[in-house]
Amino acid sequence: MTADVSVRLAWADDAPAIAALQLAVWRESYTDVLGTQLDELAPSDLTERWAATVNAPRDARQRVLVALERATLRGFAIVHPCFDDD
């Protein structure tokens, strides 16, 4: 039996799917707070930033992970050491 779900490092090609998922979650979660500001955003507005985050992370130890169900992106996470001194 093969697993239908997996987690791997994100690739730059994942940026559009990450951006689309992020915006969908924001719209579901923050519409009451941000209102129409979210309506003005498109996934393409976030795609370039995600590509940069994957290709040129702020810290060499930073990683973007994606969760896949078969070939469909279902989640993502960024992991890195704490950036502040606290």
Six-digit token string for 39: 């309506």
Residue 44 domain flag: yes
Residue 84 inside a domain? The answer is no
pLDDT in tens, 13-71: 999 999 999 999 999 999 899 888 888 889 999 999 999 999 998 888 999 999 999 99
Whether 85 is covered by a domain: the verdict is no
| Domain limits for position 17 | 5-79
Model pLDDT for residues 25-38, shown as the tens digit of each residue: 999 999 899 888 88
Contacts of 4 (CB under 8 A, 6+ apart): 69, 70
CATH code, domain carrying 62: 3.40.630.30
For residue 86, being part of any structural domain is answered with: no
71 within a domain of the structure (yes/no): yes
Number of domains in the chain: 1
